[in-house]
């Protein structure tokens, strides 16, 4: 059975002391009730060690927001999957649209990152999603399918089974414009069908597919009620524990 997951993506927000305080608050708040889903926070590289020191990963899992597409060596400023894993982190977001758009990440570099993440025992949260023009010109299903095929379908079924997918329509990220629950459900069902075509129904049914893009306490329950939406990848609303808890409680 696939898991329901609510994951925060802090992006480039909070200083280390602010991030440590937020993580502690999230962990304490989660201890106050029984969450009906897994909860993960993905934080800047600088925050991984100090945050790991103050949270209980049985309560809230820890992840990075990226990792390098090389194992080690002369890549100034990069952080490898092995380094991320050595902090105690268990997850890594890969292929976020902001990385594809602003840092030129391609399917080829993402295949390397996914392979290195898996080799180092990290669970990739692999992001896909169309831009507004592709939503409007009707090519969104093909665009998202190509991102999955090109980025992930080199994997064995066993390795694919370790991936979490996050559908994030780029036009809904940070814009306050959420995909309607029906739009999101249609895409999630499409993604599951694409996976089933390649790896079979069982693998498809076991894959967690999260929705991301202006997800907040007021719309999370409606989105998560859809049969193929298995949780959320949360940007802005993960930066306040009360908002994040509001989304966790939608399950």
Please report whether residue 212 would count as binding ligand 13P according to CB under 6 A. yes
- 96, 98, 185, 188: the catalytic one is 96
Residue with tokens 């990385």: 99
Burial class (CB within 10 angstroms; exposed 0-12, middle 13-18, buried 19+) of 50: middle
CA 36/CA 65 separation, integer angstroms: 24
236 belongs to the binding site for ligand 13P (CB under 6 A): yes
Active-site residue 190, yes or no?
Answer: no
Residues between 173 and 192 with contacts to ligand 13P, criterion CB under 6 A:
173-174
Size of the site for ligand 13P (CB under 6 A): 14
Cβ proximity to ligand 13P, 231 vs 235, nearer residue: 235
Q: Which stretch binds ligand 13P (CB under 6 A): 43-51, 70-78, 181-189, 227-235?
A: 227-235
Q: Where are the alpha helices (DSSP H) in the chain?
A: 16-31, 48-54, 81-86, 97-102, 107-119, 132-136, 140-152, 157-160, 181-199, 201-206, 217-224, 241-248
Q: Which is nearer to ligand 13P, 199 or 207 (CB)?
A: 207
Structure tokens at 180: 């309607």
233 binds ligand 13P, rule: CB under 6 A: yes
Cα–Cα distance for residue pair 173/209, rounded to 1 Å: 17
Binding window for ligand 13P (CB under 6 A); candidates: 32-40, 145-153, 155-163, 167-175: 167-175
Return d(Cα 46, Cα 10) in angstroms, integer: 12
Query: Which of 65, 168, 185, 188 does the annotation list as catalytic?
Result: 168
The Cα 188–Cα 210 span in angstroms is 8
**Exactly one of 124, 151, 213, 231 binds ligand 13P (CB under 6 A); which one?**
213
Rounded least distance, CB 148 to ligand 13P, Å: 17
Is 168 among the residues known to form the active site? Answer: yes
Q: Give dist(CA 176, CA 138) in Å, integer.
A: 22
Report the interface residues with ligand 13P, using CB under 6 A. Answer: 9, 96, 168, 173-174, 212-215, 233-237
Would you please indicate which residues are annotated as catalytic (active-site) residues? 96, 168
């Amino acid at each position: 059975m696939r898991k329901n997951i609510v994951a925060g993506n802090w992006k480039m927000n909070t200083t280390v002391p602010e991030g440590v305080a937020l993580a502690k608050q999230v962990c304490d708040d989660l201890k106050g009730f029984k969450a009906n889903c897994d909860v993960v926070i993905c934080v800047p590289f600088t925050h991984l060690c100090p945050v790991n020191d103050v949270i209980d990963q049985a309560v809230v899992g820890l992840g990075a927001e990226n990792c390098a597409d090389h194992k080690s060596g002369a890549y100034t400023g990069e952080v490898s999957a092995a380094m991320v894993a050595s902090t105690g982190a268990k997850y890594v977001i890969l292929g976020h649209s902001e990385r594809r758009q602003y840092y030129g990440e391609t399917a080829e570099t993402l295949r390397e990152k996914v392979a290195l993440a898996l080799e180092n025992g990290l669970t990739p949260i692999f992001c896909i999603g169309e831009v507004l023009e592709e939503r409007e010109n009707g090519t969104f299903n093909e665009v998202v399918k190509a991102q999955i095929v090109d980025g992930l379908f080199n994997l064995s079924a066993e390795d694919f089974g370790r991936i979490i997918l996050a559908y994030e329509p780029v036009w809904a990220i940070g814009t306050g414009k959420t995909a309607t629950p029906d739009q999101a459900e249609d895409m999630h069902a499409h993604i599951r069908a694409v996976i089933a075509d390649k790896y079979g129904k069982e693998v498809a049914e076991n894959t967690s597919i999260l929705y991301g893009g202006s997800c907040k306490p007021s719309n999370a329950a409606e989105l998560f009620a859809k049969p193929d939406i298995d949780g959320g990848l949360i940007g802005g609303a993960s930066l306040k524990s009360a908002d994040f808890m509001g989304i966790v409680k939608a399950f």
